[in-house]
Chains A and B, each alone.
Chain A
């Protein structure tokens, strides 16, 4: 019976698999399975080991990433659908380290709050698995599966405070908007597949940029794909889910969504733009231009009026997405600097935003509130946290010598270097918006340093060890990236175009 079947499929050849290239994904998947098994076998007794195992899993995943980076060769599998190059490795490292910091800031929050712990870390790991897969995906189907793999656990994590209506609202809004975006994205992808007959981004680019003017179907496909990812990176006018989801979700999950999930959306967008659509800049550049300009302006203006620090960070995240989109609007003129600028910004933004959320979590341990007014007089009872928060806020505003300054400098450099009208206009937008943003970041700083504590309660905030180490890591990285910009500058000198031969 089996022999007859084998004879029938005799000419089937297993596709060659480069196990080293797939090692990061496989390691993380193995630890995710281990975590789930531990829950089944040990039940309650496994609870306290879950964060430790998740951290070990993330750090173990760094090992193959580092060996691949040392090896240095570009690897490609499945006809070019899965590519490991320098850009992919940098983004994988960013996702893993951001995930590690999220585990650090989660462990006390989750264990003290009576949540499902093992599943929390299992879902977190699988979401990160989707992200590191996304960094390597150069094929429509792989990109879509990676997107779903990172989104579906995130929908569930957003509603992890099951008995809280706001958390339910957060998860439901995120889920509905997310699947809506996925549907639009998938529709766009199917149009592009119909027009080109291939799912590989390299071949797609060749096919759709062959003619001088794009066919209607290609224009619609590109627009739908960009709209789909604009939801993911919460760019205006597709940002409406972000503030409510951020406010209602557990704060460590908010940190994860605002950093890792947004970065993954950008990675997918960059894969599509730089590999799949680069020859059709007449279609995507005006659209990215509009998204970038509107996102920074609207995000910053609404952030001015927020009274809740998490909502403020949500709108500031919308504006930051606008900054990161800006270089992509000149992607065809200066592809290398545009890519390097956005990747640098993603790296530095991840560090400073995670840090800001770590402080929010630490302060909320005492005040039980995320209102900006409750940060008054923070310096009098938590000077360390105040200094850390000030560093993160000024880094987000882009004040030298902190990391955010260098990130914004790269963005400005790229759009000015393009030397086109749209590039210069975007440069002006970035400059004006940085000034607006400084106002609301500095306002919190002033409240923390100058005002008196609202109720005169000066008992210090007790910060647990894991949260403290997350704060130390993020503060150090924010300062180092600003003082030694060459560090991130060298690392992000990447080219997508060179790496994807297919």
Chain B
């Protein structure tokens, strides 16, 4: 009985949060509602005795990912009024409606059509794994360092490589200092308007810099 009550409460939290994400006018509010949804999902994990997943849900999703969202929203200018009446890519709302309805229909069919719920009855191996008296955190730890040790170690290499690549791609170019007039940031950030105005004051500098860079990049490309 108590499980049902907890389920209903967390389901309400999740659904209200999900509606809030879609319906909020302010993107910051959307992001905050997303945290509410993710916290509700963490509660659902808790009643299924998946303590590790619940903790990871809070730390990774509610903590790291939504903060990243907020960071991007702030960076793009939260006070910029968005005209919601204009559809920049024609037909995408209708398309979203169709795709959303299809996914909903697909989910209902999949869950309804199958025997024993969507996944069928749990195989014997899964039952055994749950029955050795360890907490789920211990079990995940054991599996991670035995059966999946290789994948775990390779993931470490993968993350290092991703960091190296990201640093290379975002760092400015070494030898030439021609980057300044190529940086498109000034067009996208209204807060940097003085820099943009500066560009307009000296069109000739900007032009020559641009064309020079184009020639050299053309050279790069084919050499």
Contact = CB atoms under 8 A, between A and B. Distances in A.
Contacts of B162: 152
Contact of B150 (A78, A153, A163, A164): A78
A217 B116 CA distance: 12
B42 to A, nearest CB: 18
B92 interface: no
A79 B147 contact: yes
B89 interface: no
Interface of B is mostly: helix
A79 to B, nearest CB: 6
B213 A15 contact: no
Contacts of A198: 123, 125
A194 B119 contact: yes
Interface residues of B, number: 48
A162 B198 CA distance: 25
A116 B168 contact: yes
Interface string A159-191: 101111001000000000000000000000000
Given A113-B219, A163-B173, 10 more contacts: A14-B146, A29-B157, A81-B147, A123-B161, A149-B158, A152-B162, A162-B173, A217-B114, A364-B222, A370-B222
A368 B223 CA distance: 7
Contacts of A161: 217, 220-221
29 contacts: A14-B146, A78-B149, A81-B147, A109-B223, A113-B221, A114-B175, A119-B165, A122-B161, A122-B164, A123-B161, A126-B161, A146-B154, A149-B161, A152-B165, A156-B166, A156-B168, A159-B169, A163-B178, A163-B213, A163-B220, A164-B217, A197-B126, A215-B120, A216-B109, A216-B114, A220-B106, A220-B110, A367-B222, A368-B218
B158 A36 contact: no
A148 B158 contact: yes
A27 interface: no
B120 A216 contact: no
Interface of A is mostly: helix
Contact of B125 (A109, A156, A163, A197): A197
B165 A156 contact: yes
A353 to B, nearest CB: 20
Nearest to B182: A163
Nearest to A195: B119
Given A78-B148, A159-B169, A113 B113 contact: no
Given A78-B149, A113-B220, A161-B221, A217 B169 contact: no
A203 to B, nearest CB: 8
Nearest to A163: B217
Interface string A113-151: 111100100110010010001000001011001101100
A317 B15 CA distance: 46
A216 B161 contact: no
A207 interface: yes
Interface of A: 12-15, 22, 29, 32, 36, 77-79, 81-82, 109, 112-116, 119, 122-123, 126, 129, 133, 139, 141-142, 145-146, 148-149, 152-153, 155-156, 159, 161-164, 167, 194-198, 203, 207, 215-217, 220, 250, 364-365, 367-370
Interface string B197-219: 00000000000000001001111
Contact of B147 (A32, A78, A203, A215): A78
Nearest to A112: B223
Interface of B: 106, 109-110, 113-115, 118-120, 122-123, 125-126, 142, 145-151, 154-155, 157-158, 161-162, 164-166, 168-169, 173-176, 178-179, 182, 213, 216-223
A78 B153 CA distance: 13
A197 B114 contact: no
B120 A217 contact: yes
A155 B161 CA distance: 12
A12 B223 contact: no
A145 B221 contact: no
B150 A142 contact: yes
B56 to A, nearest CB: 15
Contact of A217 (B110, B148, B222): B110
Given A78-B149, A78-B150, A153-B161, A114 B120 contact: no
Contacts of B113: 216
A98 to B, nearest CB: 19
Contact of B157 (A149, A195, A215): A149
Which of B118, B154, B178 counts the most A-chain CB atoms under 10 A from its CB?
Answer: B154
B110 A195 contact: no
Nearest to A125: B161
B220 A115 contact: yes
Nearest to A142: B151
Contact of A145 (B119, B125, B145, B151): B151
A220 B3 CA distance: 31
Contacts of B123: 196-198, 207
Contacts of B161: 122-123, 126, 149, 152-153
Which of B157, B176, B182 counts the most A-chain CB atoms under 10 A from its CB?
Answer: B157
Contacts of B176: 114
Nearest to B138: A9
Contacts of B151: 81, 139, 141-142, 145
